[in-house]
Structure 1
Amino acid sequence: MKPIRLQSVNIKTPWAGDYLSNLRKLETGVGIVREVCAYKKSENSILNSEYEGMNLRDLISLHQKELMGDDTSDQMIRAAYIDAKEDLSIQVHPNQEYAEKVENDFGKSESWYVLQCDEDTSVIAGCNTDDQELLRHAAINGNIEKYLTRINVKPGDFIYIPAGIIHACGKGTLVMEIGSFGGVTYRMYDYGRGRELHLDKGFQVLDTSLSANKKEFPLKARNKNGIRTGVESKEFKVDVIDTIGIQRIFKENKYHIVTCVLNDCDIIIDKEKYCLHYTETLLIPASVKEYEIRGDCRILCSYRP
C-alpha cells in the first residue's frame, strides 16, 4: 500500500490566529486544522486517486491489514494544528473509563509540539490547589487562572497533556496536537465568549494531582541525525526525528504519521519520492517496512506503541 495523502479539515474558532492561514492560503478565522482524524463526522477525505470518494474511516475498514497492521482498531491517532491568536478555553478531557460509561466515546489524552510562538508565551497545564470547590467558585467568578499552572514554552518544546488534567493552549502559538481517539471536551472557563460550559462533568473527571511533562528539543541544537522520544503514553508515541542529509527509518508492522515541522524534506519509499513541505503530513501504512528521509529537517513520527 502506498503512502496516503489526506485532505485537511479546517475549523473556524473565535480564538484563531493567522499563521497557518497565511501559509496555506486559508480563509480567515481557521484555528484548527485536522491533519489526521478518523473520528465520527470529522474524518479526512483521501486525496489518492485510487481511493477517490473515500474518507479515512472507509480506508481503515476496507484496508485494515495493509494500513493498520496488527492494530485492529477502527480509529487512528489524531493529529491537528492549533493556531491561536487568543487563549483557548480552559478545559479538561475524560479518561477512557469515564468516556465509555458516560459519553459512549473514547478517552482523550494529547500532546502539544510548539512550532511557532510569541516571546514569553505560556500554556496552562495543571493546578496549584486540590480544592475543587475553590476551583468551581473561581471558574464561575472568572478568576480561575490564578489557581492554574502556567508553563513557558518556545519552539521545539513538547508537552504531554494526560486525560483529567486541566489545561489550555496559550495565545500566540502554533502547535501540532497529537493525541488519542476521543473527541470529548469539557469547557471549564471561556473568557466570556458565550459558549457553553460543562462544569459538572468537568469536575467529575478533573484530577488535581496531575502535572504536565515538558521536554525540550532546541532547534539550534540540531547538528546530526537523531531519533528521540517526544511523548510516550499507552495510547500513542511520538518520535522527534532530526535529519541532516539522509536518514533511513525501519519500522514494525505499524502505521506512521509523519509531519514535517522544520523546513521541507522528501520521503523515499520503494524509490518513489514524496515531497513533504513545512507543516505537511503523510500517512505511511503498516505494510511499508522502511523509508528514507532526505533533507535538513525535523519530522514528528506518531504511531501506536
Structure 2
Amino acid sequence: MTLTQLWTSEPQLFGNHGAEESFPLLTKILDAKIDLSVQVHPDDAYAMKHEGELGKTECWYILAADPGSYLIYGHRAQSKEEFAQLVSQGKWDQLLTKVPVKAGDFFYVPSGTVHAIGGGVMVLETQQSSDTTYRLYDWDRKDEKTGQSRELHIKDSLACSQVPFQAPKLTRKTSFCGQTKVTEFVNSKFFSVYRWENHQNQGDFQNKNHDYWLVSVIAGQGQINLGDKTYDLKKGMHFIIPSTVTNWTLSGDFTMITSKAN
C-alpha cells in the first residue's frame, strides 16, 4: 500500500486520527548544491482562501554544512512599506538576513518566514503536508535553455510575510529514556521534533500517548526491538513506528531525528 492508502484503511496505526484526509507531515532531505530560491509560505487561513489547501510551517535540522555556508532566515524590514520598497528596488543584501550554519543546528520556520537554504547545506526537513510556496526572489537566474526567469509571487509573498520578522524563541529540552539522550527541538501546533542519541547503551521507550513516530537515522547503526521483532538500523533509513507499538528498545551507536504530528 501507499502511505495514503494505509492512512485511510488502517487508522488505528495512526492513533485513529479522525477527519484528516491525508498524512499530515512530510519529511525530506534537501541537499542544496547552489542557493535555493527565497520563499515564504502562507498560513492555513491564507492558503485555504487563495489556494484551496493547507499552508506550510516547516523546520530544518542541519545534517551537513560546508565552511562559510548560510541560510536566509528572516529579513530586516520594519514595516510592510519598507519591505515592499526594498523588494521593488532589488536591495536584497539590505533586506535579507544571512545566518551562518553548522551541522547539528536547528531552525523552526513558521509560515510567514522569509527563508532560503544556501548552497553547501544539507537539511532534514519536517513540514506540514503541503506544497504551497510563494517565491520572492530567485537570485536573478535565468533558465539556460529558455532564457526565462522562474515565476515570482511578489504580491502573495508581501501579503504573507511576517513584518517585522521575529525569530521564534525555542528552548531545547534534554531528557533520558534509559541511556538514550533525547533532545526536544520544537513542540508546536503542527509537530514536535526530537533527536535521539544512543551510544552503545540501551534505551527503553514507552509510547504512553499512543503517538506514531516518523524516524530518520542520520548517523551510525544499531537495532530497534519492537517486542516481537528486532530490526537493524543504519544511517539513511527512514520508517514509521505505528501508534499501536506500546514500547521499544534501542541498542547500538546511532543518532535519529524523530517527529510526530500534534
For this structure pair, what is the TM-score category when the shorter chain's length is used for normalisation? 0.7 to 0.9
Aligned partner of 1:201 among 156, 176, 179: 156
Alignment of 1:230-249 (within 5 A): 230-245=185-200, 246-249=202-205
Check conservation: 1:229, 1:240, Cα contact below 8 A: yes
Q: Distance in 1 between matches of 2:128 and 2:171?
A: 22
Tell me, yes or no, if structure 1 residue 173 matches structure 2 residue 129.
no
Aligned partner of 1:301 among 245, 248, 258: 258
Structure of greater Rg? 2
Check conservation: 1:159, 1:215, Cα contact below 8 A: no
Alignment of 1:249-260 (within 5 A): 249-251=205-207, 252-260=209-217
Q: CA deviation at 1:137?
A: 4.2
Q: CA deviation at 1:216?
A: 9.8
Q: Runs of 4 or more off by more than 6 Å in structure 1?
A: 214-217
Q: CA deviation at 1:108?
A: 0.6
Q: Distance in 2 between matches of 1:123 and 1:209?
A: 18
Q: Which residue of 2 aligns with 1:69?
A: 15
Q: Which residue of 2 aligns with 1:114?
A: 62
Q: Distance in 1 between matches of 2:111 and 2:92?
A: 19
Q: Aligned AA for 1:301?
A: T
- How many residues are treated as equivalent by the alignment? 245
Structure 1 unmatched runs, 5+: 1-53, 218-223
Q: TM-score when scaled to structure 2?
A: 0.87
Tell me, yes or no, if structure 1 residue 269 matches structure 2 residue 226.
yes
Q: CA deviation at 1:141?
A: 4.6
Q: Which residue of 1 aligns with 2:3?
A: 56
Structure 2 unmatched runs, 5+: 142-148, 173-178
The DSSP-based 3-state class of the residue aligned with 1:195 is: coil
Deviations 1:276-301 (A, max 9, x none): 32132111111111112222111111
Q: CA deviation at 1:225?
A: 2.7
Q: Which residue of 2 aligns with 1:81?
A: 29
Q: Distance in 1 between matches of 2:62 and 2:239?
A: 19
Q: Aligned AA for 1:288?
A: V
Deviations 1:124-176 (A, max 9, x none): 11111123344334434543232122222111111100000111111101100
Check conservation: 1:164, 1:205, Cα contact below 8 A: yes
Q: Distance in 1 between matches of 2:16 and 2:8?
A: 14
Check conservation: 1:81, 1:176, Cα contact below 8 A: yes
Q: Distance in 1 between matches of 2:64 and 2:256?
A: 15
The DSSP-based 3-state class of the residue aligned with 2:111 is: coil
Q: Distance in 2 between matches of 1:199 and 1:292?
A: 50
Alignment of 1:118-197 (within 5 A): 118-193=66-141, 194-197=149-152
Q: Distance in 2 between matches of 1:130 and 1:93?
A: 19
Q: CA deviation at 1:115?
A: 0.8
Q: Distance in 2 between matches of 1:169 and 1:184?
A: 17
Q: TM-score when scaled to structure 1?
A: 0.75
The DSSP-based 3-state class of the residue aligned with 1:264 is: strand
Deviations 1:90-122 (A, max 9, x none): 010000111111111112100000111111221
Q: Aligned AA for 1:284?
A: I
Q: Distance in 2 between matches of 1:77 and 1:201?
A: 24
Q: CA deviation at 1:275?
A: 2.4
